[in-house]
Amino acid sequence: MGSLSKQEQVECREKAEYANVNWDELGFALTKTDYMYVMKFTEEEQMFCNGTLIRFGNIQMCPSSGILNYGQGLFEGLKAYRKEDEGILLFRPEENALRMKVGADRMCMPSPTVDQFIDAVKKTVLANKRWVPPHGRGSLYIRPLLMGTGRNLEVKPSSEYTFLVYASPVGNGLKGVLNLMVEDNVHRATPGGTGGIKAVTNYSPIYKPLTEAKAKGFSDLLYLDALTGSNIEECSGCNIFILKGNVISTPTTHGTILPGITRKSIMEIASGFGYQVEERATPIKEVFDAEEVFCTGTAMIVKSVASITYQGKRIEYKLGAETLAQKLHATLTGIQTGVNEDKLGWTMVIDGPPFL
């Protein structure tokens, strides 16, 4: 694949219409869009450079590349939202860029600078502008990937890396209620591992217990800490919060829990509402007398937990319009979509031609 021709660039600039999509039926699945962004790091250059937009499609790499053989890879996830006036907002992209840099250091990889990361995201969104759903009917999910793509038979860091950004329109959060089962045999992460970064290797090891849990009717698993088996950590792809009285508790991100950007944002919003927000070791026994439990993540945003089942005992929680989770969800999505004033400086307006 090559970079876009001048004619393609002109066409991309002129596209202001919406893609032919049934926006009301969007879930969280890949819809092929028009373009993606690619930037390379080589031994010769020793830096990421010459990023370019190319047509969305398959990529080629050596069978011995680090990502394929040894899982040397990271990914991020963020969204672009359409405002009522048709403008487009990004939500805290610098946080994703910084988190990727932390993950890259742990995985012995170079990473794009914050400016390079944000520039790549902006160009990807603008090149796929017609795929950003209408206001209130979804968002454009953006997936930056950082991969070891050099030839590598020996167990060692790759010599070359690829930073790739693609995007897909998605619906408004994950549908249905959350019914969690506590997993006390398989651990999502261990101290000293990679649980605190978005390494590609974090996810497939939990497919087996997650598939088994879903076959029993559960939405997701809630994992316990590997050292004591007595503290909750997080779910397969989202952080968790417990409400009791005026106190909101969430497990500390001490290396085994991903520091979610939605998590961080919700903590700030909840504190502004007057709640006491605590990051601490959270014993599993505390779920038994919690008034409300909710999860946060880029895909789901904020979602109430209907029940948690632990060792055969099912605990149910408050649901509905009056819950704190609903209030937090409305506040955050209002900021993300430009309905609420962004007093915290979290959103970034992007507009204009895709090629700068």
pLDDT at 15: 46
pLDDT at 355: 46
Residues contacting 187, CB < 8 A, separation 6+: 223, 224, 225, 226
Query: Could you tell me which of 142, 148, 141, 151 has the C-alpha nearest to residue 163?
Result: 148
pLDDT at 44: 83
79, 123, 198, 303: the active-site residue: 198
pLDDT at 88: 97
| Active-site residue flag, 198 | yes
CA quadruple 140, 300, 329, 251: dihedral positive or negative?
negative
CA quadruple 105, 107, 109, 114: dihedral positive or negative?
negative
Residues of the chain with pLDDT under 50: 1, 12-15, 354-356
Start-to-end CA span in the chain (Å): 21
pLDDT at 311: 94
Cα–Cα distances in Å, from 335 out to 22, 41, 90, 239, 324? Answer: 25, 35, 10, 20, 17
Main-chain dihedrals φ then ψ at residue 264, nearest 5 degrees: -60, -40
The whole model's pTM is what?
0.92
pLDDT at 1: 46
pLDDT at 299: 93
Name the token pair of 322. Answer: 């009056």
Query: How many Cβ atoms sit within 10 Å of the Cβ of residue 96?
Result: 23
